[in-house]
Amino acid sequence: MATQKKKKKYIYFFGEGKAEGKASMKDLLGGKGAGLAEMTNLGIRVPPGFTISTEACIAYFGNRGKYPAGMWEDLLTNLNRLEKVMGMTFGDPRTPLLVSVRSGARASMPGMMDTVLNLGLNDQTIQGLILKSGSERFAFDTYRRFITMFGSVVMNVKRDLFEKLLEEKKRMLGAALDTDLRVDALKDLVREYKDMVFSETKTKFPEDPMEQLKMSVNAVFESWFGNRAVTYRKLNNIPDTWGTAVNIVAMVFGNMGETSGTGVAFTRDPNSGERKFFGEFLFNAQGEDVVAGIRTPLPISALAKRLPRAYKDLVFIYKKLEKYYRDMCDIEFTVQEGKLYMLQTRVGKRTAAAAIKMAVDMSREGMIDQKEAVLRIDPAQLDQLLHPTIDGSADLKVVAKGLPASPGAAAGVITFTAEESERMAELGEKVILVRTETSPEDIGGMHAAQGILTARGGMTSHAAVVARGMGKCCVVGCSSLVIDEENKTVRIGDLVLREGAFITLNGSTGEVIIGKVPLVRPKLSKEFKTLMGWVDKIRRLGIRTNADTPHDARVAREFGAEGIGLCRTEHMFFNDERIKAVREMILADQTGGRKKALAKLLPYQKNDFIGIFKEMNGFPVTIRLLDPPLHEFLPHTDAELKALSLDMGVSFEALSQKNKSLHEFNPMLGHRGCRLGITFPEIYEMQVQAIFEAACGLKKEKYRVIPEIMIPLVAHVREFEMMKELVDRIGKEVMDGYKIKVDYRVGTMIELPRAALVADQIAKTAEFFSFGTNDLTQTTFGLSRDDAGKFLPVYIEKNILPQDPFVSIDQDGVGALIRLGVEKGRSARKDLKTGICGEHGGEPLSVEFCHKIGLHYVSCSPYRVPIARLAAARAAILYPKK
Amino acid sequence: MATQKKKKKYIYFFGEGKAEGKASMKDLLGGKGAGLAEMTNLGIRVPPGFTISTEACIAYFGNRGKYPAGMWEDLLTNLNRLEKVMGMTFGDPRTPLLVSVRSGARASMPGMMDTVLNLGLNDQTIQGLILKSGSERFAFDTYRRFITMFGSVVMNVKRDLFEKLLEEKKRMLGAALDTDLRVDALKDLVREYKDMVFSETKTKFPEDPMEQLKMSVNAVFESWFGNRAVTYRKLNNIPDTWGTAVNIVAMVFGNMGETSGTGVAFTRDPNSGERKFFGEFLFNAQGEDVVAGIRTPLPISALAKRLPRAYKDLVFIYKKLEKYYRDMCDIEFTVQEGKLYMLQTRVGKRTAAAAIKMAVDMSREGMIDQKEAVLRIDPAQLDQLLHPTIDGSADLKVVAKGLPASPGAAAGVITFTAEESERMAELGEKVILVRTETSPEDIGGMHAAQGILTARGGMTSHAAVVARGMGKCCVVGCSSLVIDEENKTVRIGDLVLREGAFITLNGSTGEVIIGKVPLVRPKLSKEFKTLMGWVDKIRRLGIRTNADTPHDARVAREFGAEGIGLCRTEHMFFNDERIKAVREMILADQTGGRKKALAKLLPYQKNDFIGIFKEMNGFPVTIRLLDPPLHEFLPHTDAELKALSLDMGVSFEALSQKNKSLHEFNPMLGHRGCRLGITFPEIYEMQVQAIFEAACGLKKEKYRVIPEIMIPLVAHVREFEMMKELVDRIGKEVMDGYKIKVDYRVGTMIELPRAALVADQIAKTAEFFSFGTNDLTQTTFGLSRDDAGKFLPVYIEKNILPQDPFVSIDQDGVGALIRLGVEKGRSARKDLKTGICGEHGGEPLSVEFCHKIGLHYVSCSPYRVPIARLAAARAAILYPKK
């Protein structure tokens, strides 16, 4: 004897001022269903209907495409209830009930089945519609709309085919607008549509309203796993397991003549954020006319003029909704013969600028508090505000698309080499550096360029990382480019561009555009400054920047950085005269020769540090001693080596021999970082001397200098101890010479798994840890970011990795090591200073993670400093404990 | 008012049948001091004396080269006591006490100051010696010996200079032996020696016996940090903090004529282990004459003949000592006028073969039990027994020296390419493959060769690892070789060798020898087999082997392997026809083309597995699916590509393009391991099919086949899950086809830090873990073993790393990850099978570590299987808990 299980509720009714659902049931009813229920409860006029829950959708997929037990019966019961409320009957030829069927997931999701209106029509029920409306034309207009939507959305007939027949009809009859077509023409169209659907699908257009309904519900469910929906979810980190709800709502008609119509509106301006009602309305139309762009909608003021009653209702309702949702709402509505019906409400999307203005305004209006205002801003969105962007009104000729590696936009003439880029920039030309891929030697050229475009490389390739660091627009991995560096041309399909041709890059979309597109440099609003003031009061994490030059340091200070978390000294080695001395140093076989060459570098390095220390007066500056393998400073092709040989007066053979001897199979795991400092201590000695001389000199001028000297790539505690001895020794020598004491710290980058594992040993002598999450991710995953392009995209696509670990910290793996490093480090030194300085320092989820595990600061590129500040504040609100 | 601290005891007296020390106080008294004390306690006749403890030495260095408080006073007290016992007085011209001063650390340590004999002599005290001995000649012989030893050892005058004066004197006087010199000549020598010392050192030879004593004690202390001693300690992992003891012992004289003499002996034969007394004796001589090799010593039987009384005493004593020490002892003694004095005893060094014979014999004699017998054998030493070696009696012309990468010896003619090596080997020629460095393409040629010699690379370079795996003699990093592959010559200094020239390699020393040196293939003794039987009863760890071919599998089984822990499938891809199909597969741009090429490989792989499964009948075989990046299967130089282009009928441009597109910056962290399986599932599908077809076929023939399929380079649990699904799916298809069920397991290699960190997630589906310690070491340290050669030697030399982490598991770092992986893995799956399969699997300390953390097995190259078995047994004895 089976016990009767409590029947699962799959369907939620709304109508007559009462709903079974409410706004907070978004997960179950989807955004649309929850909105309709809530509006009903709020006493707002909404056509009655019911929502099939997301659970039903999930059960449907769990059940190999069958409805869960009882769902269909529930649906029929609710349909019956709807018939009663409406006083009409679904499929009845005299008083036919028509409905709309619309999908609605938790989050608004383009790519899913959208809407079927006027469902329930067939050759019988149309008679009832004619009878009730008294307008045969209206009825057939509605019928042809239904066939179009059902045919295209549910039966997958190309929408074009319907459009073509419609256009043909209009052309033949000389009708300018759809509304000019008369009833006979519409009748013909209905017949022609049905014939066409049959010839396309080999299936008769379903006449049975119940079959229409079932097919539509199935189509909504199935659209959850449609290609575009799946892609969208992947891109937006929406789980497949959420499912979608289905809303079945009694039709109201905007196409019943000039006192009817349909509209969409925002309770505030979604572009600027201004507090003004913003919307559009189309008379004698149904919703899809707005979307399809067949007629141009009128501003919402037209409604106020022509149907003031309905408009007054609308104003009353939108204010009610905004107050209720405590946020800007995006609403849809229909006016049927002068009477307003609300069809949808949800919190509306907005630009970054608008989001900030609204949040600050609403906080001031007393609608939300400052913390909520901060939570309203998506940190990732801020990026939009911080870089120049393409003028939206411009006409664009997009010729290629790569990865959007560093946001913003840039226009300029093509150059193919870093030298040429520098030369032309000196002449005042704006240039775009186009390379197959970039290397550290290109830094100068990258600096000089407005933007960088590469044919290879991923979001974390050299070009991408450096460009982001510079806040410079960059598009990478644009694989359709065929670059011929010798002949100085780049081919894109049939198009061949030469050096000097004008192109524009959109670093936010990855688009490559022919010609010079006007750019807009956004100004930061006063609301932005207000909000960032609140942010800084709330956050616990310090925000520093990764900056290698006084210029970057200044930009970062303007963006609110509280010090430098990573100053890479190797970029200083590439400029002009210096690279010559660096190469002399590399070519010297003896310590003596190296020292001589290093002595030439000393004044340059010292000046670099003076410039940076001045900009960061009063703030700490973490300087990483030389990190990259020496071969990065030598050119690699025979041609370049020959040129260098002439320039340096060293034989080509000797240079080429040196190059070979420095070659590494895995440079990432090679002779770099403190391994250089240990094998060639004179290099680090020079750098430390430069730091202390700069610091001592400035201290005499009353600057507050706080150098933090960072030893890279430590794996074993002895490496750190030896290098700390070196720093302390040279530091003392210089300070004794100047008779000045500088407060300094010596710490290490934790960027190898081993360092995290023995962090307790290292923290005995190290005064700070900076987690180098780029390299730590590479070694923990065994994944070279330069090579990952061949398989990482497949990994993301196949959902093996939820996201690119070079973009957002892999919390399970790399994060576990960081936690361990922090715990072990603090077990040995209670006041150990901890931060991160990888690319992740400016990524909101990673910032949140750093907050949660109690780091002292994050460091990121200058242009991401505001993003990190905001993310840190949000984390402090959401996770207040630590 | 300072309280009086209990005075620290620095000096231990022995004499008159009683000693303050004993054998177990070796750490404090050094090996020599403890032996002298113990012999005294045992009632054996030892000249009295005293030992300055190692603590005094440590305090001396802690004290910047000053004696610790009270030490000198203690020394004087003990000297006084010694004078009383001897009835003589140090420095007294009538009854002068003479002493020897000898160093003695815990472990016998070449490179430290050894011995000063006859200390206390000067122009006054010699009169007493003449008086007492009645022989002026004896006294002056003793005096010239003292000046030589003190001058060279304490005052650092080159020993040659003394020898030269002595030889000159003998030549002038026509004396054949030292003993032929008469007293006047000796007197002259004493004067000449002193003059020479003065002119060399600008210091007068010290006349004051007390000064002589102090200088000698200092010299012993200082020698602890002498270059050779430091180097020796580094090589043998002896800590600097041990310090050395100093022994000051009353002189007995072996140079008092023909009833006197000096000897050394072993209580058993140290070469063969045979139970027979083995020693040498020199009449009328002091100890250093034996060492210096001036006269050839006689076999110990000469003593039995000429001084039977003394010999009888000696026999009585050696038996007593062996019984007391329960081991073969190495003894030193002097006979003074017929009376035997023991000067030293310690457990003696022995060859591996002797060690085994002695251990087994002594256990059978009831002297020690089986466990102790096992503990007596150093696993590392076994290597000697398992490889052919150079005939010690041969005359060697060593022309170069590299790193001893894989032990044993090999002789053959030089070839410069793998192909030539294979070709000549087929013709029956023995060849040595000489390459700048090897790559996986050379495997065939390496297999065919007797030995491998490379100019580049370290102990863990490709050549080294593969050669050790093959049990093949290999010398790497022999930097004095200049190889001209084009002209097929190798230059070593002025010497030029052409292809076909004969050379011999000593893989145990790194020596390269011109010509063909006779080799000795050692047979494994019956004692070896007995001992290994005991070993297998004792050990808890299973021992498997890394083997890729039926031949290797057979060798490993003969050495006692209980299964294969790592069968690398990529080596199977290189042979003959197969590489062509592999290349076709790589060049195919579509899945279809790849499948076609893979279908050609299937029968080969299947046959490989059949051969291996047969050899391992009844034992598990862990097969790793394809691991290396695909570019390893393509040639790299233009010339090779051109040849391949002709051979395959594919354009050079296409090949070269493919090569470029496959290029990786860091192949170690690139597109390899399961990343290949995920992007090209058809490759793994073919391999799994081959495994199951082989297994099903053999099962029909009643073989017991236990395949364990291993997914390489897993970082994220989803990678493993997807690959396990693939294995299960293909496995089921094949088994369904054969209608046979094969017991198989699917597991993963834990070789990336992330895998260890999320081992609990992975163990939910993985049935076994095999820790790939090679790659895990590379990623944990961020250290490419191919590139480490540039700095790792400096790291070892500067004591930054205690040892090469590619040789012995880095227990603090890599070991911590392994522990974590095991713990987390077992938390998710209680019966998770765990093992290691890196190069470390055959290294004794690493095996001990694996035992301690409770792994189920280690896997190593076939020739190291006995070493691993022994190491596992020793670990089980020393750490019985787990």
Q: A344-398 pLDDT, tens per residue?
A: 999 988 878 889 999 999 999 999 999 999 999 999 888 778 877 787 677 888 9
The reply to whether residue B779 touches residue A780, judged by beta carbons under 8 angstroms, is yes
List chain A residues with CB under 8 Å of B664.
784, 786-787
The reply to whether residue A800 touches residue B665, judged by beta carbons under 8 angstroms, is no
Shortest distance between the Cα of B323 and any Cα of chain A, in A, equals 46
Rg of chain B over all Cα atoms, to the nearest angstrom: 33
Which residue do the tokens 């003794």 mark?
B525
**Nearest residue in chain B measured CA to CA from A758:** B813
CA dihedral A387, A393, A399, A401 (to 10 degrees): 40
Residue B338, Ramachandran bin (φ over 0: left; ψ between -120 and 50: alpha; else beta): left
List chain B residues with CB under 8 Å of A750.
none
Give the rounded percent of residues in chain B with a pLDDT score beyond 70.
97
**Nearest residue in chain A measured CA to CA from B779:** A779
Helix (H) or strand (E) holding A498: strand A495-498
The reply to whether residue A758 touches residue B813, judged by beta carbons under 8 angstroms, is yes
List chain B residues with CB under 8 Å of A779.
669, 753, 779-780, 782
Which residue do the tokens 């010729």 mark?
A399
B369 vs A89: CA distance, rounded Å: 99
| Residue to substitute from A675, A751, A810, A824, interface B, most B β-carbons within 10 A | A675
Catalytic residue list contains B716: no
Q: B660-709 pLDDT, tens per residue?
A: 888 888 999 999 999 999 999 999 999 999 999 999 999 999 999 999 99
A17 vs A20: CA distance, rounded Å: 11
Shortest distance between the Cα of A720 and any Cα of chain B, in A, equals 10
Is B692:B746 a contact under the CB 8 Å cutoff? no
Structure tokens at B221: 């202390």
The reply to whether residue B758 touches residue A816, judged by beta carbons under 8 angstroms, is yes
List chain A residues with CB under 8 Å of B758.
812-813, 816
Catalytic residue, chosen from B462, B571, B631, B851, is B462
| CB < 8 Å & 24+ apart, contacts of B136-142 | B136/B183, B137/B182, B137/B183, B137/B186, B138/B253, B138/B255, B138/B256, B138/B257, B140/B183, B140/B186, B140/B187, B140/B189, B140/B190, B141/B178, B141/B181, B141/B186, B141/B255, B142/B98, B142/B118, B142/B253, B142/B255, B142/B286
B269-286 burial string, b = 16+ CB within 10 Å, else e?
bbebbebebbbbbbbbbb
A278 vs A301: CA distance, rounded Å: 9
Catalytic residue, chosen from A462, A571, A631, A851, is A462
Cross-strand partners of B544: B859
Predicted pLDDT at B796: 80
Nearest to B865 by CA among B569, B568, B554, B506: B554
At A619, is the pLDDT very low, low, confident or very high (cuts 50, 70, 90)? Answer: very high
Is A765:A721 a contact under the CB 8 Å cutoff? yes
Is residue B294 predicted with pLDDT exceeding 80?
Answer: no
Give the rounded percent of residues in chain B with a pLDDT score beyond 90.
70
At B823, is the pLDDT very low, low, confident or very high (cuts 50, 70, 90)? Answer: very high
Is B368:B326 a contact under the CB 8 Å cutoff? yes
Shortest distance between the Cα of B457 and any Cα of chain A, in A, equals 12
Helix (H) or strand (E) holding A58: helix A54-62
The reply to whether residue B817 touches residue A722, judged by beta carbons under 8 angstroms, is no
**Nearest residue in chain A measured CA to CA from B793:** A679
| Residue to substitute from A483, A754, A814, interface B, most B β-carbons within 10 A | A754
How many residues in chain B? 882
The reply to whether residue A718 touches residue B799, judged by beta carbons under 8 angstroms, is yes
Q: B554-601 pLDDT, tens per residue?
A: 989 999 999 999 999 987 887 767 888 899 999 887 888 899 999 999
B554 vs A388: CA distance, rounded Å: 69
CB under 8 Å to B365, separation ≥6 — which residues?
none
Predicted pLDDT at A1: 43
At A2, is the pLDDT very low, low, confident or very high (cuts 50, 70, 90)? Answer: very low
Q: B221-273 pLDDT, tens per residue?
A: 999 998 778 877 876 778 889 999 999 999 999 999 899 999 989 999 887 89
Helix, strand, coil distribution of chain B in percent, nearest 5: 50, 20, 35
Average confidence (pLDDT) over B300-328: 96
Predicted pLDDT at B292: 57
Predicted pLDDT at B380: 80
Which has more pLDDT, A290 or A258? A258
Is residue A785 predicted with pLDDT exceeding 80?
Answer: yes
Write out the DSSP string of A635-655.
--SHHHHHHHHHHHT--HHHH
**Nearest residue in chain B measured CA to CA from A756:** B813
The DSSP code for A152 is I
CA angle A487, A490, A492 (to 5 degrees): 145
B287 vs B302: CA distance, rounded Å: 17
Strands (E), B131-287: 244-250, 261-266, 278-283
CB under 8 Å to A447, separation ≥6 — which residues?
A470
The reply to whether residue B784 touches residue A665, judged by beta carbons under 8 angstroms, is yes
The partner residue sitting opposite B666, judged by closest CB among A668, A678, A713, is: A668
**Nearest residue in chain A measured CA to CA from B775:** A782
Q: Burial, A695: exposed, middle or buried (Cβ in 10 Å; 0-12, 13-18, 19+)?
A: buried
Shortest distance between the Cα of B719 and any Cα of chain A, in A, equals 6
Distances in whole angstroms, Cα of residue A238 to Cα of each of A106, A346, A803, B625: 10, 18, 12, 34
**Nearest residue in chain A measured CA to CA from B718:** A800
Is residue B550 predicted with pLDDT exceeding 80?
Answer: yes
Pairing verdict, β A451-454 and A431-435: parallel
Cα B723 from chain centroid (whole Å): 41
The partner residue sitting opposite B668, judged by closest CB among A666, A751, A754, is: A666
Is B390:B504 a contact under the CB 8 Å cutoff? yes
Residue A75, φ and ψ in degrees, nearest 5: -60, -45
At B469, is the pLDDT very low, low, confident or very high (cuts 50, 70, 90)? Answer: low
Which residue do the tokens 């045979």 mark?
B274
Q: A334-356 pLDDT, tens per residue?
A: 999 999 999 999 998 887 888 99
**Nearest residue in chain A measured CA to CA from B461:** A665
Cα B526 from chain centroid (whole Å): 24
Nearest to B674 by CA among B632, B634, B636, B722: B722
Cross-strand partners of A505: A410, A512
Reading across the β-sheet that carries B244-250, which strands appear in turn?
A: B18-19, B11-15, B49-52, B244-250, B99-105, B115-119
A512 vs A500: CA distance, rounded Å: 15
DSSP SS3 for A92: coil
Predicted pLDDT at A460: 56
The reply to whether residue B665 touches residue A816, judged by beta carbons under 8 angstroms, is no
Shortest distance between the Cα of B630 and any Cα of chain A, in A, equals 12
Catalytic residue, chosen from A478, A837, A850, A860, is A837
The reply to whether residue B813 touches residue A754, judged by beta carbons under 8 angstroms, is yes
Q: A119-178 pLDDT, tens per residue?
A: 999 999 999 999 999 999 999 999 999 999 999 999 999 988 998 999 999 999 988 888
The reply to whether residue B716 touches residue A671, judged by beta carbons under 8 angstroms, is no
B335 vs B262: CA distance, rounded Å: 6
Query: Where does A224-369 have alpha helices with state H?
Result: 227-235, 287-292, 301-306, 308-325, 352-364
List chain B residues with CB under 8 Å of A784.
664-666, 668-670
Is residue A234 predicted with pLDDT exceeding 80?
Answer: no
Predicted pLDDT at A781: 97
Give the rounded percent of residues in chain A with a pLDDT score beyond 70.
97
Q: A625-668 pLDDT, tens per residue?
A: 999 999 988 887 888 888 888 888 888 888 888 888 888 889 99
Average confidence (pLDDT) over B137-147: 96
Is residue A787 predicted with pLDDT exceeding 90?
Answer: no
Is B97:B121 a contact under the CB 8 Å cutoff? no
The sign of the dihedral angle between the CA atoms of B163, B164, B168, B171 is positive
The reply to whether residue A784 touches residue B751, judged by beta carbons under 8 angstroms, is no
Predicted pLDDT at B640: 82
Range with top average pLDDT, A228-232, A517-521, A549-553? A549-553
At B290, is the pLDDT very low, low, confident or very high (cuts 50, 70, 90)? Answer: low
The reply to whether residue A665 touches residue B665, judged by beta carbons under 8 angstroms, is no
Catalytic residue list contains B571: no
